[in-house]
Amino acid sequence: MIEISLCMIVRNEEASLPRCLSTVASIADEIIIVDTGSTDGTKAAASAFGAVIYDFAWIDDFSAARNFAFSKATKEYILWLDADDYLKEEDRQRFIRLKREMPEGIDSVNMQYNLGFDADGNVTVSLRRNRLVRRSRNFRWIGPVHEYLEVYGASLSSEVCITHEKDKAYTDRNLRIYQKRAAAGEKFSPRDQYYFANELRDHRMHEEASRYYEQFLDGGRGWIEDNIQACLKLAECREQLGDPGAAFAALCRTLQYDQPRAEFCCRLGAWHLDKGQLQAAVYWYELAVMLPRDGESMAFRNEAYSTWLPHLQLALCYDRLGQHEKANQYNETALLFHPAHPSMLYNRSYFQNLLGDRYIRLQSPDRPDAGEDHPE
């Protein structure tokens, strides 16, 4: 059985840290907590789990803090988590099995990182990240903010999932770090250009975000997945700036990098739907439904674009085209993915009233009664 050092950097995490450590304490053979300036009970919470605690003066550099934490590890493998991450029980059990059955020679293990959930607890947003690495490889964290762990060698994709539930309000901390670096005249890497653009967009600074997305894309040195996301986010910024033509061009720019993705299809479908071009919208939404879903990619994934969202939009399109039975079928399929969605439930009542006896023949019995004028 392999031995694991858990390495974390924290600051003012007394509320979330106990949950995190309680789910991983049985897996970690040592717990290393690097505190970057807590003023609450974070250190006491860490001590309760037997953690070894180090202080690290914050210098606006996440990689520096994480690399310091990694330098304190003594076990064969290093696991990293943030304080608002934790393991659900089924994933804790999977991790125990992984620890016991790890194949020889593995340098890094990537795990699914679940970031968003619907009302029923189903995962809606996720990506995969390298979580467990062999200490002797001396892998390093790169980048002061939105840092990444640079790994190489033999890799394993694990079934273990890390769950993230943020319990703090988002701040402009990362934006301020980037702005300070830009003001100092630092030349940004392509990755920093992309993530600075994201921070600007998140703070509704759309014009400046657009410039950084353009710089990133024009440089031609980005990861393909970041390139595609940059095009999609650039389209959002251009739309917010009142330039639908530039938004359309940015959407189509994704096709320079790969075949159509579900998110691209849904966004292009929405573009046509907004202009009343129903048949074109149907084409793109139906393509989104048909495209394969890649569960092993390291890319950011929003499940909505390949599951309930295109089905819901197809229900709307076909209803406007007068094909009500087909519209109803798409709405029912959407409900399979998102049973509590209010628009879909509203649509169910609408189709029930609109189709009458035909609805009863098409559907299973015992559907709710109510209805309005049109689907949402």
- In DSSP terms, 207 is beta-bridged to none
Angle at the Cα of 71 (from 65 to 77), degrees rounded to 5?
Answer: 110
**Nearest CA among 249, 175, 177, 235 for reference residue 206:** 235
CATH 3.40.190.10 fits 4-164, yes or no: no
Instruction: Say what the pLDDT of residue 334 is.
Output: 97
Query: What secondary structure letter does DSSP report for 230?
Result: H
Domain 259-376 in CATH: superfamily? Tetratricopeptide repeat domain (1.25.40.10)
pTM of the full predicted structure?
0.88
Instruction: Say what the pLDDT of residue 301 is.
Output: 87
Asked if residue 281 lies in contact with residue 242, where contact means CB atoms within 8 angstroms, the answer is no
Where in the sequence of the chain do the CATH 1.25.40.10 domains occur?
170-254, 259-376
Q: Over its length of 376 residues, how does the chain's per-residue pLDDT go in tens digits?
A: 999 999 999 999 999 999 999 999 999 999 999 999 999 999 999 999 999 999 999 999 999 999 999 999 999 999 999 999 999 999 999 999 999 999 999 999 999 999 999 888 889 999 999 999 999 999 999 999 999 999 999 999 999 999 999 877 788 999 999 999 999 999 999 999 999 999 999 999 999 999 999 999 999 999 999 999 999 999 999 999 999 999 999 999 999 999 999 999 999 999 999 999 999 999 999 999 999 876 566 778 899 999 999 999 999 999 999 999 999 999 999 999 999 999 999 999 999 999 988 876 676 544 443 334 456 6
**Alpha carbons 322 and 303: distance in angstroms, whole number:** 29
Asked if residue 62 lies in contact with residue 147, where contact means CB atoms within 8 angstroms, the answer is yes
Q: H or E element: which one contains 289?
A: helix 278-290
Where in the sequence of the chain do the CATH 3.90.550.10 domains occur?
4-164
Q: Name the token pair of 371.
A: 């209805």
CATH tag, 170-254:
1.25.40.10
